[in-house]
Chains A and B, each alone.
Chain A
Amino acid sequence: MTTDQSEESNMEINQHPYADLLRKEMMPNIWCSSCRIGRIKNTFIEAIQQLGYDPDKCVVVSGIGCSSRIAGYLNLDSIHATHGRAIPTALGVKLANPELKVCVMGGDGDILGIGGNHFLALGRHGHDINVFCMNNFGYSMTGFQHGPTTPLGARTITTSSGSPYVPINPVAVALAAGYTFVARSTSSHPYHLIDCMISAMKNRGPSFIEILIPCMLYERRNKIKSLEAIFLEKAKIKETLSEEDINQGDFMKGISLGIFRDAPVRERPRLSLVKSTKKTAAKKFRISFKSRASGIKYMQIRMEGTGGQGIVQGGKTLILAAMNMDPKLNSTLTKRYGPEMKGGSCLTDVLLSSQPVDYPFVEVPDLLMMMSDIVAKERGGKVIISDKGTIVVDESMVDLRLLRNLPKTVKVFKIPATQIARENFRVVVANNVLMGFVCKVTSIIDKNCLKAAILKAAPPGTEEMNLAAFERGYKFRKS
C-alpha cells in the first residue's frame, strides 16, 4: 500500500483488470457458489482482452438458462433473448452491422435443445458468429430436467430412475452442420478454453465450442462428488484429434479436448446481382404510342382458361396497355386459380374505371376472353357475360355449344388462337394471338399501347415471338 491514501489512487489500485468489462451494478451474480459459469465469463473477457478487440464493438447474445445469464454481467452491448433464440437474434445484429463481433453464450438446453434448428441453420448460413455452448447435461435453471446432452442412465428430476434417452454429441452435430471452427473444452481447463475462444473468434465463419461445466444439481442427483475432479482426471487435451475423439461415449470414462476443425470460410460463389433484361428488350423493339383520354367509365374484362395458357400474362398485358393508353384511368388486376396451378382453371379479372376501383373482381364481364372452357364447365356450363358484352373465344380450345344460348345482343368473335400459335410459333403465345384479335375486333385499347405492354409482360427473350403472335392475331381473317 502506498502512503498516498487519496480515494483516486485507491481506486487505481483496486481496479480489477476486468472491471471495464463487468457490470458492477449486477453483482453479486445469481450462480451457485460452486458453479463455474463465472469462470467461463472470465475466460471470455480474457480472450477479448488478449485479442485486443474494442469492447464497444463486441456484442454478446444469450438465451435463457443459468449460463445465458452471462450476458447480463458483461459490460458490453448485450441481449438476453428468449429461450433458444440467441443465435437468430445474434444473426440479425450481425447482418445489420457486420463490423460488430457477435458471440452467443448459452447452455446445452438453450442452444442444442429448443434452439436446435437455429444451431443447425447457422452452420449452413456461414455467418461469422461464435457460439459458446456451456454443456452441463440438463436444464439446471428449472431444477434439472433431462436435456439433449443428458448421459444415458443419468438421473434428473424428469428421469428419476435414469435417462433412457441417447444424448446427442454437440461436437459431431456442429461438424456435420458445417461450422468452420469446432472445439471442445471444459471449465476446468481455463487456459485451454481461452486459446479455443481466441481461435474461434479469429475464425471468419460460424464457430462452436462445447464447454463442459459441472452443475451441482447434476452432481447431487447422480451422487457424484465433484465433476470438476472428473473433468481434470479424465479429460485429455490433444493436439491431433481422430474420429474416435469426436464420438466419445461416456464422459465419465474419458473426454477428448481440443480443436476438431479450424477451417477457412467456405468460398462462396461470386454473386452477381440480378439485372433486368427488360430494358434491352424495350430498346430493341422501340414501340411508341400516344396516350389519350380513353373515355372508359367502367369496364369489366375477364380472361379465363387453363393454367399454363398465359392467362395471367394476358391480363397483365391488358392492364399495362390500359395504363399506357390513359394514365388517368384507374385499374385493378386480380387472379384466381383452381386447386392445381398447372392444368387447373385460371382466370384474370381486369377492371378499368374513371373512378377508383372498389370491388376488385369482375361480376359480369363486358369483355370475356375465353382461352378454354374449363372455367365455364366448372360453373356447370354457364357463360357469364353482360347483355351487351363481347366474347372473344379460342375456338380451338372451347366447346362452342356453350355459347349457344346467349342473348342475341352479345357479340361473339372466334379465332383458332391455339392452332395458329402451334402452327406458326409455339402454343404458349396463343394468348397474344387472341390478344391481337381482340385488339382488332373491339378497339378498346390502341394497338401500340398493347404492343408496348406485350413487351413488358412477356418473359424475357420471348418478346419477338409474342409480338409476332399478336400481329398474326390482329391480321386474322376467317377464311
Chain B
Amino acid sequence: MSDDNQRTLLTGNDAVVEGLCCAAGNKRRIVYAGYPITPASEIATRASVIIPRRGGAFIQMEDEIGSIQAAAGAGLTGAIAVTATSGPGFSLMSEGLGFAAMIESPVVCINVQRGGPSTGMPTWMGQGDMMQARWGTHGDRPVIVLVPNSVQETLLLTYEACKLSQKYLIPVALMLDEIIGHMEEPITIPELPPIPSAPDVEIIGKGHRLHRTGLTHDLEMHLPRINPDAQEKLVRYLLDKIKKDAKKIVRYESFGAVEDAEVIIICYGSESRSVRAAVKQARKKKLKVAMVRLITAWPFPKDFIRKLDKKKRVYLVAEINAGQMRIEVERYIKNGTVQGLNLMGGRIHTPGEILEAIEERMSDDN
C-alpha cells in the first residue's frame, strides 16, 4: 500500500480554509480579506495559496477594520466572504460586524482566541472573547457564534458558519482558540453539498439596484428611515431572524449520564477536551459526573440548561476566562449552584485539576 491515506494531517487553522472550500463548492467565489495576527496568521497563509488557485480572491488588507468591511462588501455579491483574526483584531472588527448585521451581509469571521486583554499573550490560548462575540457591537444585533473543539470539527463548523450566514444573511463568528488553531490532527475532508446562496434579490450586480445602509431603514427597500417606528421594526426583525430559529440553530453535546449527574461541567473549545478526560476518570471512580459542551455559544442552549435545573446539583462552568459563560448559565439555573472553574489564559486545565475540582464539589455535597 502506498501513501494514499484517507486522512490528512492539518491544524485547526488549516481546516478553516478546507471548510471554506467545502462550503464554496466548485462554482462559488471565496473572498478572503484578512490582516496578519498571531495565532490566526496561518489561516491567511493557507488561504493565500488555495483560494486564488480555485479562482477566488485573497487580499491582505491594511488593517482589521478594512478586512471586515471588505468581507461585508463581498458578502453582498453572493460570494463566500470571510475574514480571520484574533482578539485585538476582533475588537477592531466590532463596528464592521454590526454593519454587516445591519446591511444583512453574510460574513464569516474567525477569531482564534489568545490571552487578553490588549496584546496579552499572542502565542498562548484564551477564551476571553466569548462575551465580546455576543455583545461587542453597539446596538442589538443577531449573533451566531460557533466553538469547535477539534480540527475535524473546525472544518465542519466553518462550513456550518458559511451555511448559517448565507441562510440568515448575518455575520457568523467561529471562535477557535490558540490550541485548536495550532494543534494538528488527522482529519478526513468530507464531500459536503455546496451551500445555497442568498436569493438574487439580495445580491448586488444582478440588476436589482439595491441600496444597503448602516442607517435605520425600512425592510422593503432598505432606504433610510430615521424614526422610532422604523427602528422598532428593523431591530426586532433583525433579532427575530435568529430568535425564531434558535431551537434549530442551537447545538451542544453531552457526555456521561446528564440526568442523574450530581456535578455537570459546562465547557467549550479546547478546555472541553480536558473536561472529557476528567469526566471519564471520574466515572471510572463511580462519581456521578457529566459534561455539557457548547457548540453554539450563541444562541445559548438555554432550554436544555433550564431543563437540567429540575434537579438540585452543582454546575461547574470550566472556561479560560474570568467566568464569561458562567454568567449565562446562572441566568437559567435557579435550583442548582453554579460555580466557575477558571484560568486566566495561557493553558487549559489538566484533567487532574478538573478531577480534583469535581471531587471537591462531591465532598462539599456530602
Contact = CB atoms under 8 A, between A and B. Distances in A.
Given A88-B69, A358-B273, A334 B207 contact: no
A96 B57 contact: yes
B53 interface: yes
Interface residues of B, number: 70
A332 interface: yes
B309 to A, nearest CB: 27
A239 interface: no
Contacts of A331: 185-186
B79 interface: yes
Contacts of B186: 319, 323, 330-331
Contacts of A288: 1-2
Contacts of A152: none
A359 B274 contact: yes
Interface in B309-349: 348
Contacts of B211: 23, 71-72, 77-80
A93 B212 contact: no
A92 B351 contact: no
Interface in B28-42: 29, 31, 33
A209 B362 CA distance: 72
Contacts, number: 200
A4 to B, nearest CB: 31
Given A76-B209, A89-B72, A273-B52, A96 B78 contact: yes
A53 interface: no
A57 interface: yes
B209 A88 contact: no
A34 to B, nearest CB: 23
A363 B5 contact: no
Contacts of A81: 69, 72-73, 99, 214
A290 B211 CA distance: 61
B299 to A, nearest CB: 26
B210 interface: yes
Given A79-B212, A93-B77, A327 B5 contact: yes
Contacts of A324: 3, 5
A89 B75 CA distance: 10
B273 A290 contact: no
Interface in B247-291: 270, 273-274, 276-277, 280
A327 B350 CA distance: 28
Nearest to A116: B62
A274 interface: yes
Interface stretch (B112-120, B159-167, B176-184, B234-242): B176-184
B183 A23 contact: no
Nearest to A120: B62
Interface string A282-299: 100010111100000000
Contacts of B223: 23, 25-26, 72
A358 B276 contact: yes
Given A96-B78, A316-B184, A360-B183, A125 B9 contact: no
A95 B57 contact: yes
B224 A359 contact: no
A55 interface: yes
B245 interface: no
Given A88-B70, A95-B74, A358 B351 contact: yes
B147 interface: no
A65 B221 CA distance: 21
Given A55-B209, A452-B3, A92 B277 contact: no
A259 interface: no
Overall SS of chain A's interface: mixed
Contacts of B73: 61, 79, 81, 88-93, 96
A96 B214 contact: no
Contacts of B95: 82
A476 interface: no
Contact of A100 (B81, B205, B208): B205
Contacts of A330: 186
A359 B205 contact: no
Given A75-B209, A332-B184, A282 B351 contact: no
A97 interface: yes
Interface string A46-61: 0000000001110101
A320 B204 CA distance: 46
Q: Which of B2, B7, B186, B224 has the most CB of A within 10 A?
A: B186
Interface in B1-41: 1-3, 5-7, 9, 29, 31, 33
Contacts of B29: 96-97
Contacts of B75: 92
Nearest to B211: A78
A125 B58 CA distance: 12
B205 A333 contact: no
A77 B33 contact: no
A447 interface: no
B358 interface: no
Contact of A89 (B7, B70, B150, B210): B70
B123 A337 contact: yes
Given A96-B78, A117-B62, 14 more contacts: A72-B224, A75-B209, A80-B215, A82-B99, A92-B70, A93-B77, A93-B204, A120-B62, A121-B66, A290-B1, A323-B7, A334-B179, A360-B270, A363-B352
Please provide the 3 A-B residue pairs with the shortest distance between their CB atoms, ordered closest to farther: A92-B73, A92-B70, A358-B277
10 contacts: A72-B213, A77-B205, A78-B210, A81-B72, A87-B66, A88-B33, A89-B70, A100-B204, A333-B185, A356-B150
